Amino acid sequence: MPTYSNKDNLGSAIINFSLKGTDEKFYSPENFDEKDILVIIFMCNHCPYVKAIAERLALLQDKFRSSRVQLIGINSNDPVSHTEDSFENMKLFSEKYGLNFPYLIDESQDVAKLYEAVCTPDIYVYDRQRKLRYRGRLDDNWKDESKVTQKELENAIQLLIDGKEIDFEQIPSMGCSIKWKNE
């Protein structure tokens, strides 16, 4: 059974964190102060929903890099119960799928809890003022890119770049539940 994100916290401020990336560097939202839009994606290595869209996320980062948009991936899954989601496997995943954005580990799971993240992928888009403006799915067909007719995340980003309001229904992201420790 898939788990769905919620949008109860639209309008809320970004929550600070400092997490280690697969490049061994630590990242926080402040590292990207020059960016107009931050897209935070709770994701992992084992989830088929994430695997299906990982390359699309990298393409999205490429498309918007010159528009001052930054994607950040965060893996909060318990690597004890799901060894495929270990930090070492995150490095392999990042390489395999050509991730061109920081992919961070949330070992304590505190960041996921503060963000109220529930699934992988769970996508958050913050504007220049670092207010949550979009929390929904990437597009209308996670499984088969050739059947995508609505690119909601891309459209939301473009509207924010253009200084406009997101004027369409935000449909929840669908994916695997976050694998919490001691569950």
pLDDT of residue 183: 64
Domain annotation for the chain: domains and CATH numbers: 3-13+32-177 (3.40.30.10)
Say if CB 40 and CB 127 are below 8 A apart.
no
Report the alpha-carbon distance of residue 90 to residue 94 in Å, rounded. Answer: 6
pLDDT of residue 1: 80
How would you write the pLDDT of the chain (183 residues) with one tens digit per residue? 889 998 888 999 999 999 999 999 999 999 999 999 999 999 999 999 999 999 999 999 999 999 999 999 999 999 999 999 999 999 999 999 999 999 999 999 999 999 999 999 999 999 999 999 999 999 999 999 999 999 999 999 999 999 999 999 999 999 999 999 986
Nearest by Cα to 10 from 169, 141, 150: 169
Q: Which amino acid appears at position 121 of this protein?
A: P
pLDDT of residue 7: 80
